[in-house]
Amino acid sequence: MMSKVDMSRLNLRTSGAPVSAVPPVRSQTHPPPAEPTEEDRSKDAFFATVGEVAEAMIVRHGKEFAIGTLVLAAKFVAEGRPLVSRGTEAGGAADAAKPV
């Protein structure tokens, strides 16, 4: 990992470090951005969907509700718990979910 220290601003004479111990500053050129992969496009689409759902939650129920819901969902994912009820029993959460 590259350090974010600007080597050109260091005063090596007062730091006590020998000049040979400090690597020379080289201009950093970044390679051209690669074309996004199918996985990248899929992740972007899911992120956009989550953003739209979060915005809808904020409009209907407020920022605190949206934050709490997203944190709870993240906790369920981390614990490997299901986020939705997939059961066929009457009155389950799957039946109660209605589009906005």
Q: What is the pLDDT of residues 31-50, one digit of tens each?
A: 778 899 999 999 999 999 99
Whether 49 maps to a domain, the answer reads: yes
Higher pLDDT, 42 or 96: 42
3-state SS assignment for residue 74: helix
Q: What is the pLDDT of residues 72-86, one digit of tens each?
A: 999 999 999 999 988
Question: CA-CA-CA-CA torsion for 84, 86, 92, 97, nearest 10 degrees?
Answer: 50
Whether 47 maps to a domain, the answer reads: yes
Whether 13 maps to a domain, the answer reads: no
Answer yes or no: pTM beyond 0.85.
no
Question: What residue numbers bound the domain in which 53 lies?
Answer: 36-83
Domain count, the chain: 1
Rounded Cα–Cα distance for residues 12 and 9 (Å): 9
Whether 69 maps to a domain, the answer reads: yes
Q: Taking each helix axis from N to C terminus, what angle separates 38-61 and 63-79, rounded to the nearest 10 degrees? A: 140
Phi, psi of 5 (to 5 degrees): -80, 130
Instruction: Check whether 93 has a pLDDT greater than 60.
Output: no
Rounded Cα–Cα distance for residues 97 and 100 (Å): 9
Q: What is the mean pLDDT of the chain?
A: 79
Whether 59 maps to a domain, the answer reads: yes
